[in-house]
């Protein structure tokens, strides 16, 4: 048994692979896997503990791993895209371009990946699979890979909404389950190792999928962390972390039982992708093009919104608050909140809608922040970011309450301090840094 301690480097991983290979008389194989990128083209750099992952670092790491082992298998269970704001179409397009740089062997299709239509996915010629029905002509039903003398057969089972554009795909019908079972039996009889990625939770997978014929089952991500593999009879269960912050590496051997092959003697490791991992030079042009397109779209939206913003803004800006709330203003001025927009400018993301909303006042709301030139008085995390629009409060000399006057502190902070951006946020420890007034 090989024991690997936390805090390892890439070279520790190489040693881990060498030691495993030297201990096993059987052929060794490597599976690198991930799942549910969830639109995380790059990490939010607001906190060190959240600054993991991103496609630039992923490419750097997979290049290193492939240099050591060109025969590794690289798999994603899907869930790449997100569609929450207009600019997400641009981000999603560049995520798919990034998948080309990563050169995955297999990518599963999940419901969220269909947000912009099937053509949006297929135009990038990526190795997508979806196995709910062979009558689905858009994506491959399965994919077989050959490594050394061993075949690996991959399938994807995704829960898709009834209104999905893939009308022929069904999740739990007896016909499609039977079809999958027959395909798995066929591949097992041929000596293949069968791998199924799914959006089903384990309890559902046990009821629906024929685990007896599945060697590796990859279930949906649970937050950002990978779980240790679990053996369920002949099936090895894997569960990746989300958001592309880490890679899972499964090192294993295969033993033949007659014609059938089985996974034996496996080892598992999780590779973090922290800020100390250099960005891949291969991503430089891709990332520059992404930022250029994002900036052009942002400036276009600013022009459109400027034309629409004809009425009076409900936002006053912190300088108006200063007149009556000087101690609170001075306290705010001494906090990082006051520098939030400058922080965004310092990393060149002051045109990224995914960032601006938490670094300005009222972004994407009527009368809210547009950019530093047109609405400089609304840059940064200000009084109204927490307390809500305050122009009516100013006009009434304090008689009209601010927009969020009834909100609890937890609700106010949760507008921005969420797991994706602030994973270690704790109200009790953060609040003293900004405490002011009565609350």
- CATH code, domain carrying 397: 1.10.1130.10
According to the model, what pLDDT value does residue 8 have? Answer: 54
According to the model, what pLDDT value does residue 1 have? Answer: 36
Same domain, residue pair 111 and 204: yes
According to the model, what pLDDT value does residue 364 have? Answer: 87
Q: What is the gyration radius of the CA atoms in the chain, in angstroms?
A: 25
Same domain, residue pair 241 and 321: no
According to the model, what pLDDT value does residue 49 have? Answer: 78
Instruction: Identify whether 299 is part of a domain.
Output: no
At 195 the three-state DSSP class reads strand
| Per-chain mean pLDDT for the chain | 88
Instruction: Identify whether 428 is part of a domain.
Output: yes
According to the model, what pLDDT value does residue 22 have? Answer: 47
Q: What is the pTM of this model?
A: 0.81
- Tokens 């790449």 locate to 80
Same domain, residue pair 355 and 236: no
According to the model, what pLDDT value does residue 2 have? Answer: 42
Instruction: Identify whether 390 is part of a domain.
Output: yes
Instruction: Identify whether 61 is part of a domain.
Output: yes
According to the model, what pLDDT value does residue 7 have? Answer: 54
Instruction: Identify whether 130 is part of a domain.
Output: yes
Instruction: Identify whether 60 is part of a domain.
Output: yes
Q: Which of 260, 281, 302 is the last residue of a domain?
A: 281
Same domain, residue pair 262 and 392: no
| DSSP single-letter state for residue 25 | S
CB-based contacts of 290-297 (< 8 A; 24+ apart in sequence): 290/41, 290/90, 290/91, 290/94, 291/348, 291/351, 291/352, 293/90, 293/94, 294/87, 294/90, 294/91, 294/351, 294/352, 295/351, 297/86, 297/87, 297/90
All residues at 6 or more sequence positions from 291 whose CB lies less than 8 Å from its CB, including other chains: 348, 351, 352
For 353-386, give the DSSP string.
HHHHTTSBSSTTSTT----TTT-GGGBSS-HHHH
Q: What is the pLDDT of residues 133-192, one digit of tens each?
A: 655 678 999 999 999 999 999 999 998 765 555 655 555 567 788 999 999 999 999 999
Same domain, residue pair 276 and 327: no
For 121, counting Cβ atoms within 10 Å of its Cβ (0-12 exposed, 13-18 middle, 19+ buried), the class is: buried
Same domain, residue pair 182 and 226: yes
Q: Which of 281, 303, 332 is the last residue of a domain?
A: 281
| DSSP single-letter state for residue 328 | H
Same domain, residue pair 78 and 188: yes
Same domain, residue pair 229 and 343: no
Same domain, residue pair 199 and 344: no
Host domain of residue 239: 10-281
According to the model, what pLDDT value does residue 3 have? Answer: 41
Q: Which of 281, 300, 330 is the last residue of a domain?
A: 281
Instruction: Identify whether 265 is part of a domain.
Output: yes
Same domain, residue pair 181 and 246: yes
According to the model, what pLDDT value does residue 11 have? Answer: 57
Backbone angles phi and psi of 129, in degrees to 5:
-135, 150
Same domain, residue pair 276 and 391: no
According to the model, what pLDDT value does residue 4 have? Answer: 44
Instruction: Identify whether 91 is part of a domain.
Output: yes
Q: What is the pLDDT of residues 46-100, one digit of tens each?
A: 887 778 999 999 999 999 999 999 999 999 999 999 999 889 999 999 999 999 9
- The H helix count followed by the E strand count for the chain is 15, 12
Where the chain has pLDDT below 50, the residues are 1-6, 22-24
| DSSP single-letter state for residue 402 | P
Same domain, residue pair 319 and 205: no
Contact indicator for 260, 238 with CB cutoff of 8 Å: no
Looking at the structure of the chain, the number of domains it has is 2
Q: What is the CATH number of the domain that holds 48?
A: 3.60.21.10
């Amino acid at each position: 048994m090989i024991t690997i301690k936390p805090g390892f480097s890439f070279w520790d991983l190489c040693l881990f692979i060498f030691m495993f290979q030297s201990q096993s008389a059987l052929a060794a194989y490597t599976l690198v896997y991930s799942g549910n990128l969830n639109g995380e083209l790059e990490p939010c750099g607001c906190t060190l503990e959240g600054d993991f992952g991103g496609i630039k670092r992923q490419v750097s790491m997979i290049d290193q791993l492939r240099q050591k082992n060109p025969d590794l298998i690289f798999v994603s269970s899907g869930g790449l895209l997100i569609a929450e704001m207009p600019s997400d179409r641009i981000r999603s397009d560049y995520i798919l371009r990034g998948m080309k740089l990563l050169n995955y062997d297999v990518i599963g299709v999940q419901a969220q990946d269909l947000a912009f239509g099937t053509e949006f996915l297929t135009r990038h010629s990526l190795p997508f699979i979806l196995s709910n029905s062979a009558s689905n002509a858009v994506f491959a039903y399965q994919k077989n890979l050959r490594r050394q003398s061993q075949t690996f057969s991959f399938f994807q089972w995704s829960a898709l909404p009834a209104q999905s554009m893939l009308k022929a795909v069904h999740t739990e019908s007896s016909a499609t389950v039977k079809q999958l079972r027959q395909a798995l039996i066929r591949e097992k009889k041929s000596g293949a190792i069968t791998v199924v990625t799914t959006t089903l939770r384990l309890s559902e997978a046990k009821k629906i999928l024929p685990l007896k014929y599945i060697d590796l089952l990859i279930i949906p991500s649970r937050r950002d962390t990978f779980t240790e593999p679990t053996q369920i009879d002949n099936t090895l269960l894997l569960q990746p972390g989300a958001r592309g912050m880490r890679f899972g590496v499964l090192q294993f051997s295969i033993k033949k039982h007659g014609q059938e092959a089985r996974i034996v003697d496996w080892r598992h490791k999780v590779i973090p992708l922290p800020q100390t991992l250099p960005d891949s030079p291969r991503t430089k042009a891709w990332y520059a093009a992404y930022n250029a397109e994002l900036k052009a779209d942002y400036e276009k939206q600013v022009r459109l919104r400027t034309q629409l913003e004809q009425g009076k803004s409900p936002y006053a800006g912190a300088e108006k608050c200063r007149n009556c709330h000087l101690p609170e203003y001075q306290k705010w001025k001494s906090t990082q909140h006051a520098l939030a927009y400058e922080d965004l400018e310092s990393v060149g993301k002051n045109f990224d809608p995914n960032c601006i909303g938490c670094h300005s006042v009222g972004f994407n709301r009527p009368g809210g922040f547009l950019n530093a030139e047109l609405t400089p008085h609304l840059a940064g995390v200000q009084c109204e970011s927490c307390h809500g629009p305050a122009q009516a409060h100013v006009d009434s000399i304090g008689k009209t309450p601010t927009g969020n006057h009834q909100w609890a502190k937890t609700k106010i902070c949760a507008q921005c301090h969420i797991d994706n951006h602030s994973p270690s946020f704790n109200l009790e420890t953060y609040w003293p840094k900004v405490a002011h007034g009565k609350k």
